[in-house]
């Protein structure tokens, strides 16, 4: 009984330690077509953005947004706060979405 309890605790601990998005965004970008969304303001986007990113401010994301649901969507903003909100909205709308977080910490070509 004691061994079973120890084993159960071990499984629970290991199961809770894994991140949902263990695969890196670069690996996901190699496996499927994708869209990168810059969810900052137009002015922030124009001051610099990830190459080929679309600019859709986070507060304009709603049911009327029309993106390809067969593609992974990667969102980012200045600090990670707005991208988290965009991530949650897009997830509820049925998109396969990943939050890249803060623009400055993303290791992709920038324009």
Band of residue 18 on the pLDDT scale cut at 50, 70, 90: very low
Domain at 26, CATH number: 3.40.250.10
Secondary structure of the chain: what % helix, strand, coil (to 5)? Answer: 40, 20, 40
Residue 8 has pLDDT above 70, yes or no: no
H helix intervals, 1-40: 2-17, 25-31
Cβ–Cβ < 8 Å for 103, 76:
yes
The reply to whether 31 falls in a domain is yes
* pLDDT score for 1: 57
pLDDT cut 70: percent of the chain above it: 79
The reply to whether 8 falls in a domain is no
The reply to whether 79 falls in a domain is yes
Strand partners, 110: 50
Domain that holds residue 73: 21-105
Residue 95 has pLDDT above 90, yes or no: yes
Q: In angstroms, rounded to a whole number, what is the distance separating the alpha carbons of residues 71 and 62?
A: 18
Per-residue pLDDT of 21-38, as tens digits, reads 455 888 888 877 999 999
Domain tally for the chain? 1
Mean pLDDT of 61-76: 95
């Amino acid at each position: 009984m004691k061994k079973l309890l120890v084993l159960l605790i071990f499984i629970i601990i290991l199961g809770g330690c894994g991140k949902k998005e263990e695969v890196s965004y670069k690996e996901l970008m190699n496996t499927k077509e994708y869209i990168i969304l810059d969810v900052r303001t137009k002015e922030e986007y124009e001051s610099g953005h990830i190459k080929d990113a679309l600019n859709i401010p986070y507060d304009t994301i709603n049911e009327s947004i029309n993106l390809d649901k067969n593609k992974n969507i990667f969102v980012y903003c200045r600090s990670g706060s707005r991208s988290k909100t965009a991530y949650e909205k897009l997830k509820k709308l049925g998109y396969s979405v990943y939050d890249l977080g803060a623009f400055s910490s993303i290791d992709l070509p920038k324009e």
